[in-house]
Amino acid sequence: MIRSLMLGVTVLTALPALAQDAPREKAKAFFIEGRTRYAAGDFAEALEAFRQANALAPHPLMLFNIAQVFEAMDDLPAAIEQYQKYLATQPKDAAAVEGKIGALQATLDGWPAVAVETMPPGAAVRVGAAKNPSRGTTPMTLRLPPRAHTLFLSLAGHEGAQRPIQLQAGARSTLTVALVPIRPFLRVVTTPPGARVRIDGGEPAGPTPLARAADGGKRTVRVELEGFEPVERQVTLSPTHTRAAPYVLEIALEKAVPRGSLELSVSPAGSEVFVDGRAVGRAPLTAPLRLTAGLHEVEVRAPGADPYTEMVAIEADSTVRTEIEVGGGVDLGTVGIITMGVGGLAMAGGVVAGVLALGASGDLDDCRADAQCNATAEDAALADDVRSRAFLSDALLWPGLAVAAGGAVLYILSSDAPTEVEGQAEQAWFVAPLEGGAAAVGRFRF
């Protein structure tokens, strides 16, 4: 009886006031729509219309109408709250409304309770229809009339759930629902079509054009089609990529070119490796490099050493293996120069010793020509000096000659030995033994 009375009063008293200006005209239209929806049992639409009308032209009686909608939807806690807001305006029918609030509270206390839980928690709970207002979020306890109901659960990033329940008078029950995360939707389109699609290296998902659900987050999509270059792309999928609005990945495939493999063994470890000026990693390289057929420049940069460059020829569908060692081998040129220096020093020492031996030999000849010196201790000492100096000369000169000659051979065999280059001088030199000594022979050509 109160319900029909208050709706009638609203029509008779509120509408003339609503017609005073444009906002009130809109509020009047919302009120009429709410009343029509209420009469048809479309309570969710009626509630929204009354709220719109009250927002445009606030009126205490509109609070009463909103409370009636909640009551019709069996949402007694919300209905009681709205009736209490109406009472706060000190209406003339306050006593009748207070009685109604008491009756609704008694009814609510007698209804069976159901505890609703979800995994994960925080899901909104609606009763009767997915469009109805939320009763709260899980975990929560609902009191509903003792009959069959349908609960609708929703949580961002998860699929909605719908569960029927049957409540018995005086009983208490529990409903637990595991919500399923929403998997984003991915659509892959290639030109030309028919390419195989792999996601994160898994099994082929199917030929393009392809549309399918995938795990959210960063994903690697690889597209392969015989006769075309394979393509890998990184995508980030989120719950906003739904079946209706998927993440669309469009790829234009390029014709494949002949390729081969290059296996590089590089030392020392940690050296930077470049192919055709592009960094490909640091030694040791764990996998062969796929390169187009033809010549490629391989450069290795090792700490403390000059960059090393080498040209490598790659053949289609074949594997080339190359070992590169930078700064760790023996430099024959440097060893040759050092060896020649050591041999030269020994030879120089031998020459000096020989010269000294010749001087001592002259002194010995003078002593033996002198009757007072001949066959004396001085004669014997000079003879010993000549012998020792001659021995030292031989001990230094000939081994030094051999060492210097070996160094010259190493230098000539090294990659650093001078070679003939157009516009530059050619030069070569070596040490040759001669009777009583050695000679350094050189050749220069311009």
Average pLDDT of the residues in 251-255: 94
Bigger pLDDT: 342 vs 283: 283
Summarised one tens digit per residue, pLDDT across range 346-367 is 677 667 766 776 776 776 676 7
Domains 2-110 and 259-325 share a fold: no
Domain 259-325 is classified in which CATH homologous superfamily? Immunoglobulins (2.60.40.10)
* The residue type at 251: I
Instruction: List, in sequence order, every beta strand (DSSP E) within 256-342.
Output: 259-267, 272-275, 278-282, 289-292, 294-301, 308-314, 319-325
* DSSP category for residue 302: -
Class of domain 2-110: mainly alpha
pLDDT in tens, 176-218: 999 998 889 999 999 999 999 999 988 888 899 999 999 889 9
Using the structure block, give the residue that is written with the tokens 């389109």. Answer: 189
CATH superfamily of 185-252: Carboxypeptidase-like, regulatory domain (2.60.40.1120)
Query: CB under 8 Å to 218, separation ≥6 — which residues?
Result: 234, 235, 236
Q: What is the torsion angle, in degrees rounded to the nearest 10, for the CA atoms of residue 227, residue 232, residue 237 and residue 242?
A: -10
What is the tens place of the pLDDT at every residue in 167-178? 999 899 999 999
Ordered by start, the domain boundaries in the chain are: 2-110, 113-178, 185-252, 259-325, 332-445
Phi, psi of 309 (to 5 degrees): -125, 140
CATH class of 113-178: mainly beta
Is residue 309 within 8 A of residue 299, CB to CB? The reply is: yes
What's the rounded Cα separation, in Å, for the pair 64 and 87?
Answer: 9
Query: What is the rounded average pLDDT of the residues 98-110?
Result: 94
- Residue-level pLDDT at 328: 53
Asked if 195 and 185 count as a contact pair (C-beta separation under 8 A), the reply is no
Handedness of CA 86, 88, 92, 96 (dihedral sign): positive
